[in-house]
């Protein structure tokens, strides 16, 4: 897994867009007290469930891998 140049910014964008996606779909309401890790995992699993992104093999799932996958997804958004 090769790190992107602007991965931190893309992760922030992915969290913002993922929260909007989940709330617009009506499946989740994020709270201000939710941790970044919890948001990342929920958004990742929601996007995989909706077939928006390809899943990471179960034995390779980690917070770092999910962040990277979401960063790639966010970089492709307009």
User: Pick from 62, 67, 10: which is nearest to 36 by CA?
Assistant: 67
Domain boundaries, the chain: 7-19+33-75
Q: What is the pLDDT of residues 12-66, one digit of tens each?
A: 999 999 999 999 999 999 999 999 999 999 999 999 999 999 999 999 999 999 9
Q: What's the rounded Cα separation, in Å, for the pair 31 and 76? A: 26
pTM of the complete model: 0.91
CATH for 7-19+33-75 (1.10.1300.10, 3.30.450.20, 3.30.1160.10, 1.20.120.1930): 1.20.120.1930
CA angle 42, 43, 45 (to 5 degrees): 65
Distances (CA, A) of 53 to 34, 35, 44: 23, 22, 8
């Amino acid at each position: 897994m090769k790190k992107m140049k602007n991965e931190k910014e893309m992760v922030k964008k992915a969290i913002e867009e993922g929260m909007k996606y989940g709330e617009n779909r009506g499946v989740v309401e994020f709270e201000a007290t939710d941790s970044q890790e919890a948001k990342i995992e929920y958004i990742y699993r929601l996007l995989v469930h909706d077939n928006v992104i390809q899943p990471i093999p179960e034995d390779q799932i980690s917070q770092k891998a999910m962040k990277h996958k979401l960063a790639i997804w966010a970089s492709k958004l307009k």
